[in-house]
Amino acid sequence: MDVEVRRLAPQQVEEAAEVLADAFDGYPWTAWTVAADRHRERLAGLFGLTIAAVGLPYGDVWAAVERAGRVAGVAVWLRPDRPVPEQVWTDLSERDAQLAGDRYGAMVAAEAACAPLRTTEAACLLATVGVRRDRWGQGLGGRVLEPGLAAAAHAGLPAVLETSSTDNLRFYRRLGFEMTGQVEVPGGGPRVWGMRRPPGGKV
């Protein structure tokens, strides 16, 4: 394949955020929680914050990079051995409110509704993963997830995630994830599924 999966460099944050914005435009969760006006711009801002303030300093950010240097896929993992300080989340919430626009209240309510899906066990959390639309269906999603799945398996930890796409359920099941629960976001919001990959799963 014409891509190499490697750690995202700090200078690639903006490009990686655009990749995720492209992948998540129209996704049920972001359509519900992020304002429609300047939607793609808002998505890129939110993903850029996630990568720069959380993923790079406290987690692992992997990129599928084409031979020409273009970032084609991104995966952001959070690890139990490097917890994100509460102050970081507090600081981010102010910027999240600006970027989510008139849907910020829906974002907060949706996050609260999903609390029952979130485990208290030590686990590697897949915060987000996405691939450019012009590379969909070419196996890049699985490729960019490999290092994070391998790290979880090596550490003897489960991997966990949430998704609001039925297509994603099939994709993650092929990677060894099992459904752990689901919630309906109140007020007409999306259905969200929690998933878990047992420790030691093959990559």
Q: What angle, rounded to 10 degrees, do the helices at 39-49 and 13-24 form?
A: 130
- pLDDT above 80 for 202: no
The first and second tokens of residue 81, run together, are 């051995």
Confidence of residue 161 (pLDDT cuts 50, 70, 90): very high
Confidence of residue 130 (pLDDT cuts 50, 70, 90): very high
The average pLDDT across 141-168 equals 97
Q: Characterise 17 by phi-psi region: left (phi > 0), alpha (psi -120 to 50), beta (else).
A: alpha
For the entire predicted model, the pTM comes to: 0.95
Q: What is the pLDDT of residue 200?
A: 76
What mean pLDDT is reported for the chain? 96
The first and second tokens of residue 125, run together, are 């959390």
The average pLDDT across 174-200 equals 96
Residue 185 has what DSSP assignment?
P
Distance, in Å, from the CA atom of 201 to the CA atom of 84, rounded to the nearest integer, reads 26
* E strand or H helix that includes residue 182: strand 178-184
Structural domains in the chain plus CATH codes: 3-155 (3.40.630.30)
Q: What is the pLDDT of residue 203?
A: 66
Confidence of residue 134 (pLDDT cuts 50, 70, 90): very high
The first and second tokens of residue 33, run together, are 């929680």
Residue carrying structure tokens 């099992």: 178
- pLDDT above 90 for 96: yes
